[in-house]
Amino acid sequence: MNFLAILTVRNEGAFLLEWLAHHRAVGFTDFLVFSNDCQDGTDAMLDRLDAMGLVTHRRNDGPHDKGGIQFTALKAAEKLPILRRADWVLPLDVDEFMNIHAGDRTLPALLAALPQATAITLTWRLFGNAGIVHYEDAPVTRQFTRAAPAVMHWPWRAAMFKTLYRNDGTYRKPGVHRPRNPDPDRLAQARWFDGQGRELDDSFKTTRIFSNYGRPNHALVQLNHYPLGAMESYVVKADRGRAVHSDHMLGLDYWVERNFCTDEDTSIHALDSSAALAALKSDPELARLHDAAVAWRKARFDALMLHDPCRALFGRLLMTPPTRPLPPEAARVMIRYANRARTGGGT
């Protein structure tokens, strides 16, 4: 069975090998990776991985569709044979790590636990910064173990998901959070399940991009999301811009809505990908490119700190404590107003 992960990256060479090693250990057989406008050698690293037969690399330097960089990449993916031959598809970001709790923690074990599923929602668990200031060349999943509570009531994006879906023609196009362009004649047969193992209602088949609030969603599988990293690394990420729209610089608002550190979660360590990572780094060219990407990231931070907006952001990060999860009663106030706004201000 072919499991395809689709990834879009820019200047992420320092993190790429860890991400790839982990998802090879999870059980993905194929990787389609798009790079755009890289200065740190990520594209050269992907060329090497492509030559080794480990990924399929496509450049996505532009011009980009009005939907943004990721949308342009996924639109290009529709036409490629690697997508057409995949049995299951999951678009991911490089700061997202699939964390399966079922069986031996691999994709076959997850499907064995949900044999009727044609789509499985992987709800984020947000991993915060936990006060780590300096960027280090060490595995992200080992450095950052402080996370949001398993049950979150607000903000809504804490319950966002990515979708692992069967590539059986029900959905004809991949999407950032969910597959797109459903076939009306096949949609009724789709069976969506969440990471808790519950079957989901029909709204998930066509529109939903976030799981239900206020209840667990991670018993069988979760998506570990490491959107912040070290403070130094976040400044570099902020300068790069958002993955969807690169001209939107990240700020303190993005940080505060994701910097949850109340709980410790080391469950991802149960799947050991260290041998897979060591195998990748045993290739001299990959090792050289990885080290160059690490050096670039450190030099880029130093350069950005000479500019006031980035220096100001770094100072604010140093002064901002971890985010306090809202208690249910406060979250209900926010949700009530959000619902009123969505319906035009009515009660």
Residue type present at position 4: L
Please give the mean pLDDT across all residues of the chain: 95
| CA–CA gap between residue 293 and residue 278 (Å, rounded) | 17
Instruction: List, for residues 134-183, the tens digit of each pLDDT value.
Output: 999 999 999 999 999 999 999 988 999 999 999 999 999 999 999 999 99
| CA–CA gap between residue 31 and residue 318 (Å, rounded) | 37
Please classify residue 149 by burial: count the beta carbons closer than 10 Å to its beta carbon, then call 0-12 exposed, 13-18 middle and 19+ buried: middle
User: Average pLDDT for residues 254-270, to the nearest whole number?
Assistant: 98
Predicted confidence band at 248 (pLDDT cuts at 50, 70, 90)?
Answer: low
pLDDT (0 to 100) of residue 181: 97
What is the rounded end-to-end Cα distance, in angstroms, of the chain?
50
Instruction: List, for residues 284-323, the tens digit of each pLDDT value.
Output: 999 999 999 999 999 999 999 999 999 999 999 999 999 9
pLDDT at 243 over 60: no
Q: What's the token pair of residue 180?
A: 């797109």
Q: What's the token pair of residue 333?
A: 């106030």
Predicted confidence band at 123 (pLDDT cuts at 50, 70, 90)?
Answer: very high
Q: What percent of the chain lies above the pLDDT cut of 70? A: 97
Residue 58, classed as helix, strand or coil, is strand
Residue 303, classed as helix, strand or coil, is helix
Residue type present at position 193: F
Residue pair 22/47 in contact by the 8 Å Cβ criterion: no
pLDDT (0 to 100) of residue 66: 81
pLDDT (0 to 100) of residue 212: 84
Residue pair 83/89 in contact by the 8 Å Cβ criterion: yes
Q: Whats the size of the chain, residue-wise?
A: 347
Q: For the chain, state the CA radius of gyration.
A: 20
Predicted confidence band at 11 (pLDDT cuts at 50, 70, 90)?
Answer: very high
pLDDT (0 to 100) of residue 242: 54
pLDDT at 346 over 80: no
Residue pair 115/187 in contact by the 8 Å Cβ criterion: no
Residue 245, classed as helix, strand or coil, is coil
| CA–CA gap between residue 18 and residue 9 (Å, rounded) | 14
Q: What's the token pair of residue 288?
A: 């050289």
Instruction: List, for residues 189-240, the tens digit of each pLDDT value.
Output: 999 999 999 999 999 999 999 998 778 999 999 999 999 999 999 999 999 8
The H or E element that residue 239 is part of is: helix 231-240
pLDDT (0 to 100) of residue 87: 98
Q: What's the token pair of residue 44?
A: 């050269």
Q: What's the token pair of residue 9?
A: 């990256």
Task: For residue 16, count other CB atoms closer than 10 A to its CB.
Answer: 26
For the whole model, what pTM was predicted?
A: 0.96
Q: Alpha helices of the chain — where are they, by DSSP H? A: 13-26, 42-51, 69-77, 81-84, 107-113, 140-143, 184-187, 203-206, 231-240, 252-256, 274-281, 284-304, 308-319, 328-342
Predicted confidence band at 62 (pLDDT cuts at 50, 70, 90)?
Answer: confident
Residue 147, classed as helix, strand or coil, is strand
Residue type present at position 101: H
Q: What percent of the chain lies above the pLDDT cut of 90? A: 90
Q: Please report the DSSP string for 328-346 in residue order.
A: HHHHHHHHHHHHHHHTTS-
Bond into 155 cis (ω within 30): yes
E strands, 73-170, are 88-92, 96-100, 119-126, 146-147, 161-166
| CA–CA gap between residue 177 and residue 57 (Å, rounded) | 21
Closest to 165 (Cα-Cα) out of 232, 95, 89: 89
pLDDT (0 to 100) of residue 342: 82
